[in-house]
Amino acid sequence: MRTSGRTRGRTRGRTSTRSTPRRGALAGLAALAAAVLLAGCTSDPASGAEDAATPTGPRADVLRVLAGSELRDVEPVLTGVAERTGVRVELTYTGTLEGTRLVADGGAAGYDATWFPSNDHLALLDGGRAAVARSEDVMSSPVALGVARATAVELGWVGRSPTWAEVVDAADDGRLRYGMTSPVSSNSGFATLVGAATALSGTGTVLAEQDVAAVAGQLRRLARGHALTAGSTGFLVERFTADPRGVNALFGYESVLRPLRAGGEPLDVLTPSDGTLTAEYPLTLLRSAGEEQGRAYDAVVADLLSEPVQRELAATGRRTTAGGPAAATDVYELPFPNRLSTVRALLSAYQSEIKKPSDVVFAVDTSGSMDGERLTQLQGALAALTVPDGDAGGAPGEGLLAFQARENVRYVEFADAVKSRGTFAVDPADRAGSLARIREWTASLRARGGTAIHDSLRVAYEEALSVLEADPERFVSVTLFTDGENTDGGTLADFRAWHGRQAAAGRPVASVPTFVIVFGEADPAEMAELAALTGGETFAAGGAADLAGVFEEIRGYQ
């Protein structure tokens, strides 16, 4: 048995800015999120999503690091590192899975190092190993299950770690209703899925492609308890913290779960007794870095591994050589898949047949200002979500952000009023045909008229609420796309009042987040208010490839 001895996020309504070149419509395991440069690092407190920005040029006193988004709480530690070593660690956040793909593709040449939860993904991709000069594990945090105390008592889990089979049984019979990030867009969700599949396979060894079909039934039973989803750990925690009703557990990194509370009490943080995966946080020097950056890297690593700094890192809830309360429990470490084909098979099965089906409602602005290139960009971005599969040499999750079998896709096209609607069920027996019909509908969009954002959003919400009221177990969300300010119909205040009336009447509006894509001349402040009101998020988009990437990113939240 291998044990781990060593050993957050987004704000609702925030606006993202992206600048990373995209590789095409559905590129990578995760949709890109927006860039934030940290202090100490440098930090932009108004930014929400994470993305790889264009880094500054090389300097001997700066280490430019592409980092996993959950490292924000390490900022104060890095400030001290800079004071002692004279090297400023400049973190640029990106999704771990997307950042890994950038490195393997040679797209991270402007960075000196990476700091992701794991390099396991990198080792599977062509060019991944060759991109690494050296790496050093700095701290660790296993993927765990945080359970509300009352639920842990009911399930008999206080003071002991359940098996994955026990977790499945509790989820299947409705006693465990958990939150988890999407495995296609978030490393914590992916690690949870791999851990469950590996343990439940019962083979006692690394998960193989043929094991996926054998364990799919158990994973479907586990998915019945999935009550809250998100594209990032930060957003998941925010939704849980804002309204934990209906959710009594979260899957995530141990360090993220330990500070959380439910019903006024800390969560019981448990790691399944038959194993989990652990984030080892290797700080990794890229082969493309220069000699000066190599020396800067060595100085930073030496400082991070010193006993005083290990104590500081332990205070963040990670496991380190300095120990701490989080390191009191041994963890049985499961192996990461050793073949890309296994990862692809697992993610494909998850998206198409394991996860709960969802209804996605798109409210799309086709007012007169959208005429010409903007409408072409919108149609291209929407069409990208109907491309079913990546090429054989693509990333493990490529194509999996497209609409999936068992999903219902609903469109509300609007200008100064609702212009048209389209509803499409993605038929498991004819997915290609369903996606073709969606493409045909989006190609028919035409730009004309004014902009009635809030009245049209009410129509979209009525669609969403009707679905959720008929089937409370479905994941339902609204995505609003607009390129201008509201010029017709009701105001944001009117929508806020309507939203409040629905909540007062007992309608499940709090369960329907709105993800707002701010394009062109749309009012970012007003759209941020709208997203915050609904428990959603805003995403700013620029050009055509960027717009496609934003739609893809939102797919990780649906």
Look at residue 139 in the predicted model and tell me its pLDDT. 96
Kindly list the distances between the CA atom of residue 319 and the CA atoms of 71, 159, 253, 331, in Å, as whole numbers in the listed order: 14, 20, 11, 11
Pair of tokens at residue 448: 């004309």
Q: Which fold has domain 357-555?
A: Rossmann fold (3.40.50)
Query: What's the CATH number for 142-270?
Result: 3.40.190.10
pLDDT tens digits, one per residue of 153-169: 999 999 899 999 999 99
pLDDT computed for residue 245 by the predictor = 78
Give dist(CA 160, CA 236) in Å, integer: 25
DSSP codes of every residue in 328-380: SS--PBPPPPS-HHHHHHHHHHIIIIISPPEEEEEEEE--GGGTTHHHHHHHH
The runs of H, that is alpha helices, within 366-520 are: 373-384, 431-443, 453-470, 492-504
pLDDT digits (tens, 9 = 90+) for 245-291: 789 999 999 999 999 999 889 999 999 999 999 999 999 999 999 99
Q: How many helices (H) and strands (E) does the chain have?
A: 18, 19
% of residues, the chain, pLDDT over 90: 67
Per-residue pLDDT for 56 more than 80?
no
pLDDT tens by residue, 497-520: 999 999 999 999 999 999 999 888
pLDDT tens, position by position, 342-386? 999 999 999 989 999 899 999 999 999 999 999 999 999 999 999
Cα separation, 412 vs 24, in Å, equals: 26
Residue 217, pLDDT above cutoff 60 = yes
Contacts of 304 (CB under 8 A, 6+ apart): 77, 81, 138, 283, 310, 313
Instruction: At 209, give phi and psi (nearest 5°).
Output: -55, -40
pLDDT digits (tens, 9 = 90+) for 412-433: 999 999 999 999 999 999 999 9
Q: What is the pLDDT of residues 282-332, one digit of tens each?
A: 999 999 999 999 999 999 999 999 999 999 999 999 999 987 555 567 889
More confidently predicted of 232 and 151: 151
Q: Domain map of the chain by residue range? A: 142-270, 357-555
Q: Indicate if the pLDDT at residue 73 is higher than 60.
A: yes
Is residue 42 pLDDT above 90, yes or no? no
In tens, the pLDDT along 374-398 reads 999 999 999 999 987 543 333 434 4
Q: Are strands 249-253 and 358-365 parallel, antiparallel or unpaired?
A: unpaired
* Model confidence band, residue 443 (pLDDT cutoffs 50, 70, 90): very high
Cα 128 → chain centroid = 22
- What's the pLDDT at 325? 59
